[in-house]
Amino acid sequence: MTDQPPRPRGTRARPRAQDPTKNPTAQHTPSKGSTKIMANSETALKDAMTSIEGVIGVALVDYTSGMALGTLGGGKDLDLSVAAAGNTDVVRAKARTMEMLGLKDEIEDILITLSGQYHLIRLLRGRGKSGLFLYLALDRGRANLAMARHQLKSIEADLEV
């Protein structure tokens, strides 16, 4: 946070004008926008973890650099940072192939089916989000794939604000 003294409890959601005389317009800003300042992507990942049935882990990944901007879940059996970096190669290979084929279409999602899991990669589109994908690992026994794809779509929409 930008201010030095510890802030009182309960003020986090409200926009804090650092200096009201210098920044008077900050006063009449709806508070809804600023509740999401801190952790927009974190919220989206949490939504995915809690709302999608059978989810093992989820990550938001920049596919040019292979960097995971955020991860949630995973654990010992699935290192999401490693999965994020590795799956950028999957996305890159597919994007490259499409370019070679001259396909003008865009990738919406990529599904990888293991015997025990589904791995779902959803490429994000829209302002400022190109170059990112959401990566979702699901327990095949508990997950509803159609439902998960649908929910992932709405989580992407939430990320836009």
In angstroms, what is the minimal distance from the CB of 19 to other proteins?
5
Judged by CB under 8 A, which stretch of 48-56, 57-65, 106-114, 115-123 contacts other proteins? 57-65
Question: d(Cα 99, Cα 117) in Å, to the nearest integer?
Answer: 29
Region for residue 135 given its phi and psi (left: phi exceeds 0; alpha: psi -120 to 50; beta: otherwise): beta
Helix, coil or strand: residue 71: strand
Structure tokens given for 104: 């003008």
Residue from 46, 94, 125, 129 touching other proteins (CB under 8 A): that is 129
**In the chain, how many H helices and how many E strands?**
4, 5
Position 4 contacts other proteins (CB under 8 A): yes
Position 105 contacts other proteins (CB under 8 A): no
Residue from 29, 113, 144, 154 touching other proteins (CB under 8 A): that is 29
Structure tokens given for 133: 């994908």
**Choice between 128 and 141, CB closer to other proteins:** 128
- Could you tell me if 137 and 56 are in contact, meaning their C-beta atoms sit under 8 angstroms apart? yes
* Residues near other proteins, by CB under 8 A: 1-2, 4, 15, 17-19, 22-23, 25-26, 29, 33-34, 36-41, 44, 62, 64-67, 69, 81, 85, 95-96, 99-100, 127-129, 132, 159-161
